[in-house]
DNA sequence: TACTCAAACGAGACTGAGTGTCATTATTTG
DNA sequence: CAAATAATGACACTCAGTCTCGTTTGAGTA
């Protein structure tokens, strides 16, 4: 590939850099995986997730059903590759670093690092994926489960690194706050078609994280007026 | 049908009061539902969820597959009836009351009211259900999704009642904190076979809610020493 | 280059969940 | 008691996901 012509020449998924370093087998594996994910995203978007059978998909991608299930555990999984990549990077970013200071900030930064490290094409795929998910109950269920799985990993990581008790609810709460902050930030970003660049997404993410502490103090009387994280709680924390 | 020989005395699952007020059709519907849930919980516990086919289940419960799917949307659903009942009661308890004061407290109280209102047999079924869930990946995924659905309803309810913006992350955060508090409280309770009564469960629940605000301040240095969090106040508790 | 071993692949049979149709039966209502 | 209505059971069908097995293909070695 000539470094100058960065854009994909419209071939179904085969137009990726394919890290030359890896053994040939691995490269093929990855290419098959990418082709499947790309084909799936296109077909599901065009025809709908339910209306597209697995058989149609594997025929279009020119692999067998067996191969599909060696690459993905379920039909749903191939549709949410972009999600999967993000959260895998998040968990990896968290695990590879030592913890110091406020944990919620650590989570925010791990998520930030994960987001900036994703390949340039990720933006487009993520937006399309989110759209698809919102229109497809089966995918909604699948991402719910996937998200919970990520949170479990984060909890395990935190519990381990901090030497906490298994019944401690704090890592659980923090893990959920982090994913929720992402959800809220990403929702608006996706709504704007991701026209705004990834920096905007990350800025929104940080904004969401800052708004989290104020959530606890939401009460019925002063409800709508205070959407920003301005006021500090009366007697909340030690 | 001889009117004299009333309802099956010791038939599997028919031994419930059957609110006399309801129209006959509704009573039958409910009885079928209960029978299915009870039979399912027993068979799944004995043979395993995956190893029990739907056909075996409906044969044992003496209904057709059609009837099953009119009562439950999926095989998974019949296994988690106890969960479903709890969360339905929770949402109902929240919706039927006006909000005043700190929302997190409102959620805690709605959950408390829901828990105390459940039928006496619920304890046993819930414990068995949780055990089954933990041993069954498919059910784990299903409850994850179910829980998220409940949170969505809570968010919608709060957003509506408080007149909040759709992008406000606060109701989302609060909804998740509530379900998390329950999860943590219930986990230990279930581990002890629910030998302790429901009051204990509720006391644990309140303890978990109280520990939530401190979660935000968890940091790497003062990590393990200060678990004012999950461990409930030793012996003395109001 | 040839040869071997292991891993990935394709083909196809098979299981079981979930859906749709329709005739039959049970409950409600007038 | 009769007509309208709703639930039921039987059955055929689709399709995701699993399993088996024979074939291909890349990796390591002589």
pLDDT in tens, B158-196: 999 999 999 999 999 999 999 999 999 999 999 987 688
Looking up tokens 């913890």 gives: A99
Contacts 24+ apart (CB under 8 A), B146-152: B146/B80, B146/B83, B146/B84, B146/B87, B147/A144, B147/B87, B147/B179, B148/A144, B150/B87, B150/B90, B150/B91, B150/B175, B150/B179, B151/B175, B151/B176, B151/B179
Residue of B233 and B125 predicted with greater confidence? B125
* Mean per-residue pLDDT over chain A, rounded: 87
**What pLDDT score does A22 carry?**
74
Residue of A191 and B25 predicted with greater confidence? A191
State yes or no: pLDDT of A238 exceeds 80: no
Cβ of residue A76 closer than 8 Å to a chain B Cβ:
no
Least confident of A94-108, A170-184, A224-238, B211-225: A224-238
**Window A:117-176, CB contacts with B under 8 Å:** 140-141, 144-145, 147-148, 161-165, 167-174, 176
High-pLDDT (> 90) share of chain B, %? 79
End-to-end CA distance of chain A: 58
The separation, in Å, between residue A70 CA and nucleotide C9 C1' comes to 10
- In A135-192, which residue ranges form alpha helices assigned H by DSSP? 137-162, 170-191
Cβ–Cβ of B173/A212 closer than 8 Å? yes
Residues of chain A contacting B230 with CB distance shorter than 8 Å: 165, 167-170
Residues of chain B contacting A188 with CB distance shorter than 8 Å: 167
**What pLDDT score does B93 carry?**
98
DSSP state of B102: B
- Check: CB of residue A185 under 8 Å from CB of residue A204: yes
**What pLDDT score does A7 carry?**
31
Residues of chain B contacting A208 with CB distance shorter than 8 Å: 169
Which residue, A191, A172, A83, is CA-closest to A131?
A: A191
pLDDT in tens, A62-89: 999 999 999 999 999 999 999 999 999 9
CA separation for the pair B136, A181 (Å, rounded): 30
pLDDT in tens, A7-25: 333 333 334 444 557 787 8
Least confident of A170-174, A177-181, A223-227, B196-200: A223-227
State yes or no: pLDDT of B73 exceeds 70: yes
| Mean pLDDT, range A197-211, rounded to an integer | 96
**What pLDDT score does A190 carry?**
96
**B81 CB-side CA count, 13 A:** 25
Question: Tokens at residue A201, please?
Answer: 């997404």
- Check: CB of residue B211 under 8 Å from CB of residue B233: no
pLDDT in tens, B209-220: 999 999 999 998
Residue B154: strand pairing partners: none
- Check: CB of residue B194 under 8 Å from CB of residue B224: no
Residue of A nearest to B165 (CA): A224
Chain A 58-77 contacts with nucleic strand D (CB below 7 A): 65-66, 69, 73-76
Query: Which of B165, B174, B219 lies at the smallest CB-CB distance from A102?
Result: B219
CA separation for the pair B232, B207 (Å, rounded): 6
CA distances from B219 to A111, A158, B116 (A): 17, 10, 36
Crossing angle of the two packed helices A122-134 and A170-191, in degrees rounded to 10: 100
Q: What is the DSSP string of A39-91?
A: HHHHHHHHH-TTTS-HHHHHHHHT--HHHHHHH-SSHHHHHTHHHHHHHHHHH
Looking up tokens 């309802």 gives: B7
Q: Is the CB of B76 under 7 A from strand C?
A: yes
What phi and psi values does residue B102 have, to the nearest 5 degrees?
-70, 125
**Residue with CA nearest D20 C1'?**
A66
**What pLDDT score does A74 carry?**
98
- CA angle, A159 then A160 then A162, to 5°: 70
| Mean pLDDT, range A124-134, rounded to an integer | 97
- Find the nucleotide nearest A69 (Cα to C1′): D17
**What pLDDT score does B19 carry?**
56
CA separation for the pair B47, B44 (Å, rounded): 5
State yes or no: pLDDT of A42 exceeds 60: yes
What phi and psi values does residue B154 have, to the nearest 5 degrees?
-65, -45
pLDDT in tens, B24-63: 788 999 999 999 999 999 999 999 999 999 999 999 999 9
pLDDT in tens, B105-121: 999 999 999 999 999 99
**Helix or strand (DSSP H, E) at A102:** none
């Amino acid at each position: 590939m000539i470094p100058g012509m960065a854009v994909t020449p419209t071939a179904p998924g085969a137009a990726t850099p394919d890290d030359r370093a890896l053994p040939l087998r691995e490269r093929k594996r990855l290419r098959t995986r990418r082709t499947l994910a790309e084909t799936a995203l296109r077909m599901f978007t065009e025809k709908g997730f339910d209306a597209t059978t697995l058989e149609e998909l594997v025929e279009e991608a020119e692999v067998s059903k067996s191969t599909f299930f060696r690459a993905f555990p379920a039909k749903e999984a191939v549709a949410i590759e972009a999600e999967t990549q993000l959260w895998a990077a998040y968990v990896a970013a968290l695990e590879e670093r030592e913890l110091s200071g406020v944990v919620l900030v650590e989570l925010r930064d791990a998520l930030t690092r994960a987001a900036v490290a994703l390949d340039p094409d990720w933006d487009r795929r993520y937006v399309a994926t989110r759209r698809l998910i919102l229109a497809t109950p089966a995918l909604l269920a699948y991402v719910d489960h996937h998200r919970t799985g990520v949170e479990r990993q984060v909890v395990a990581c935190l519990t381990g690194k901090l030497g906490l008790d298994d019944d401690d609810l704090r890592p659980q709460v923090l893990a959920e706050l982090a994913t929720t902050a992402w959800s809220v930030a990403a929702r608006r970003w996706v709504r704007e078609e991701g026209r705004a660049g990834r920096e905007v997404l990350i800025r929104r993410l940080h904004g969401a994280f800052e708004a989290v502490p104020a959530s606890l103090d939401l009460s019925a009387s002063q409800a709508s007026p205070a959407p920003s994280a301005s006021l500090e709680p009366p007697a909340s924390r030690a």
